[in-house]
Amino acid sequence: MLDPGRPVGHHGAMRITLALILGLLLAQVARAEPDSFGLGTGRDGVLTVVAGSTVLIGDSSPLKQSVAAGALQLTVPGLKVGAGDLVMIHTSVGLSPPPDLGSGKAVALDNSVVGRWELARVASVDLTTGLLKLTQPLRFSYAATRAQVVRVPEYSDVIIEAGGRLSVFPWDGRSGGILAMLVSGKLINDGTIDADGAGFRGGTFLNHPVLFGCTGFSVAEADGGAARGEGVV
């Protein structure tokens, strides 16, 4: 016990400071977060993309049930993932309110959940229900109609030979289009790493035989308009 009237020496002050820091650390709740996994575990081994081949990564599925911050499980039927794997939870769509049609202004995501993501480690998987239990609680909430879950491979080394291509499974309207991996050792890229054409899909081309010269931003196809492409809305 400290004597209120007695000055504390250098070593005593250091012990008090360390005790306070330790107390603060113990008081914190450990949560999954973007930068807590370093370069990964290397559990997926060496990936070699040979010349003339294309390798796609980024297995993903839409989140089936919404989750709140602090949740320790995700329901993601169909996701190819196992215990110990790393996943990314990403809010890919759902901007509200939507931007004005035809507006040339930049779309600001500062105050939106669109683009929010974090990494989490899988503790166990129920293959029947697609229930993933996590090792740490989530930092943020995610909506089932907006978010997807992506498996993030953890390679020990990645070697892409000249003429080889590493890319990602494309966005299908609900999930996909995110190229994410961790590499604990060497990444040698003599080929290509890209996600070209794997994001939001453009509007379907319509060559109307009679109607021409659409002048509006929201015209039905029956009136000569064309389908708009996808986006963060």
Predicted confidence pLDDT, tens digits, the chain (233 residues): 334 344 434 444 333 333 333 333 333 444 565 567 999 999 999 999 999 999 999 999 999 999 999 999 999 999 999 999 999 999 999 888 777 776 777 877 777 899 999 999 999 999 999 999 999 999 999 999 899 999 999 999 999 999 999 999 999 999 999 999 999 999 999 999 999 998 877 777 667 677 666 666 667 766 666 666 667 76
- For residues 75 and 129, the answer to whether their CB atoms sit within 8 Å is yes
Q: Which residues contact 67 (CB under 8 A, 6 or more apart)?
A: 73, 74, 138, 141, 142
Q: Is the Cα dihedral 36, 38, 39, 43 positive or negative?
A: negative
d(CA 108, CA 71): 28
pLDDT at 61: 97
**Cα→Cα distances 160→41, 92, 165, 191, 193, Å:** 20, 28, 7, 5, 8
Whether the pTM exceeds 0.75: the reply is yes
Distance between CA atoms of residues 170 and 185, nearest Å: 27
